Amino acid sequence: MKISEKFGDVSNKMRGLASRGKAMLKPPPAVFGSPRQVGEASDVSWWHIPVFIEPTAMHRPTLDNCRVQLIPDGGTAPLNMRWRTENSGDTVATATLEEGRVYLVPIAARKEVGKRVAVLTNEIFLVEKKAKWTMPPGKTKWSLRIYNDDGEWESAHSYLLCVPEPDWGNGHFLLEVRYNGLN
């Protein structure tokens, strides 16, 4: 007697077990890094905020179809952001985050005709070059959020964008991490 006659199609049963196992594993935790300054010119300052998923044996190895948002402090509506991978100059609205890969959220700030405007690289800005989040000189705090069908993950810390006085140059923008409750 063949084994498949006695136990049925083992490969299909194993596939069913594997898919149930994947469904039982929790989504992995997302990690939000410190901003990396990648460019500073007379008209714009650029940063990338690295995001990755933490590899653990008890979690799935991916977060599928993730979107990213900037969440301003103080009740302003969230801004839909874009993803960039370390190996690509292109940006995308959704990304599947995988263990071992770093994904980047690009942020730009620039001076615009005598006033300070933080231009964030959300979907409309990259496509139509129009989206702006106007901020006066001083400090503006916000966080990042990732979301998909499995849930949402928000940065455990805040980001602080320091907008310089009008007569200072674009090189005086500063983006840094602020740990909640510590500073």
Spatial distance between the Cα atoms of 148 and 162, rounded to a whole number of angstroms? 30
Distance between CA atoms of residues 26 and 150, nearest Å: 9
Looking at per-residue pLDDT, the higher value among 154 and 171 belongs to 154
Question: How confident is the model over 30-58, as a mean pLDDT?
Answer: 83
Helix or strand or coil: residue 128?
Answer: helix
Does position 175 have pLDDT exceeding 70, yes or no? yes
Q: Which of 140, 137, 138, 143 is nearest to 179 (CA)?
A: 143
Higher-pLDDT residue of 171, 99:
99
Three-state DSSP class for residue 182: coil
What's the token pair of residue 80?
A: 């839909």
Mean pLDDT of the residues in the chain = 75
pLDDT, tens digit, 9 for 90 and up, residues 60-116: 888 999 999 988 888 778 888 888 876 666 788 899 999 888 999 988 777 665 555
**CB–CB of 70/108 below 8 Å?**
no
Q: Give the DSSP H/E element, type plus range, for residue 38.
A: strand 36-40
pLDDT top residue among 7 and 149: 149
The residues facing 46 across adjacent strands are 39, 108
* Residue 117 or 146, more confident: 146
